[in-house]
């Protein structure tokens, strides 16, 4: 192996590791805001608790294909009734990955965006994501391929209650400099059921760690080494700071 090739491979791996550390920091910050809300709920939270028996930011669990997904409301949960990290809802496979979702309701005239909120959502994206670094994304790139580092998503709800999920950076390209766009611009998006299926199978969402492959226990690494594969072992020590 040439030294340049080793350098290129190492850079890719460290970009992956950097994205995971970044996502850990983002998630830690989200949890810190939720903890504050749990400790000192807002007036509206008490009203919801009186009516529903729980405050919005308390976790709710669902099981998709045997995988437990925790959801928590971020809408108007932060300081000053702001949305946490520009998102309305958190999906999380605890200890594995998460997704921050921003929701917009459409009507017959289209979808009205919120540029400031969308930029806050995009700020959660790691440097790993080439699409985020190459903003604005050319429209002919849409739809983007899904990846295991994107935790920022944008969901449009139509008049029938159907949802279409797109990457936050895709939403930025769709809106461009417009305050509103036609509903059809989001037709290529994922349905809610498809999004949750992909999320539960770890094909979308931001990784906060790479699960240990069960094949490692079956001599998989030994077979790779025997066939002259290069293996990197990354060990994380210590705690990350709140971003």
DSSP string, 173-241: HHHTT-SEE-GGGGTTSBPHHHHHHHHHTTSSSEESS-PPPGGGGGTHHHHHHHTT---------S-PP
Residue 39 carries which DSSP code? H
* Average pLDDT of every residue of the chain: 83
Query: pLDDT tens-digit profile of 120-171?
Result: 999 888 766 655 555 566 677 677 777 777 899 999 999 888 999 999 988 9
Out of 35-39, 179-183, 207-211, least confident range:
207-211
Chain-centre distance for alpha carbon 76:
18
Q: Which residue has the higher pLDDT, 215 or 219?
A: 219
pLDDT at position 227: 80
d(CA 233, CA 84): 34
Q: What is the pLDDT of residue 226?
A: 81
Residues 22, 218: Cα–Cα separation, whole Å: 31
The domain ranges of the chain are 3-226
Cα gap 169→9, rounded to integer Å = 26
pTM: 0.83
pLDDT tens-digit profile of 169-198?
889 989 988 889 999 999 999 999 999 999
Pull the structure tokens for residue 24. 């850990």
Angle between the N-to-C axes of helices 115-122 and 168-175, in degrees from 0 to 180, rounded to the nearest 10? 150
Provide the H-helix boundaries in the chain.
Answer: 3-39, 43-52, 115-122, 130-133, 168-175, 192-200, 220-226
Burial 157-185 (b: 16+ CB within 10 A, else e): eeeeeebbbbbbbbbbbbbeeeeebebeb
Tell me the pLDDT band of 240, cut-offs 50, 70 and 90: low
Report how far residue 16's alpha carbon sits from residue 2's, in angstroms, rounded to the nearest whole number. 22
């Amino acid at each position: 192996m040439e030294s340049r090739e080793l350098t290129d491979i190492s850079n890719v791996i460290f970009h992956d590791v950097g994205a995971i550390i970044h996502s850990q920091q983002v998630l830690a910050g989200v949890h810190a805001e939720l903890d504050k809300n749990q400790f000192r709920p807002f007036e509206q939270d008490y009203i919801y608790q009186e009516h529903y028996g729980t405050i919005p930011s308390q976790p709710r669990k669902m099981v998709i294909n045997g995988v437990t997904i925790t959801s928590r409301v971020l809408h108007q949960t932060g300081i000053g009734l702001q949305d946490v990290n520009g998102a309305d809802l958190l999906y999380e496979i605890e200890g594995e990955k998460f997704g921050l979702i921003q929701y917009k309701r459409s009507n017959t005239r289209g979808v009205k965006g919120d540029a400031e909120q969308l930029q806050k959502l995009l700020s959660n994206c790691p440097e790993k994501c080439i699409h985020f670094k190459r903003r604005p994304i050319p429209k002919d790139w849409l739809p983007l391929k899904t990846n295991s580092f994107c935790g920022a998503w944008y969901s449009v709800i139509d008049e029938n209650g159907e949802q279409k999920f797109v990457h936050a950076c895709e939403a930025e390209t769709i809106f461009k400099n417009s305050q509103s766009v036609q509903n059809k611009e989001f037709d290529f998006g994922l349905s809610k059921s498809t999004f949750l299926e992909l999320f539960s199978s770890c094909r979308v969402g931001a990784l906060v760690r790479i699960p240990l492959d069960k094949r490692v226990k079956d001599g998989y690494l030994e077979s790779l080494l025997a066939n002259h594969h290069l293996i990197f072992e990354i060990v994380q020590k210590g705690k990350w700071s709140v971003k």
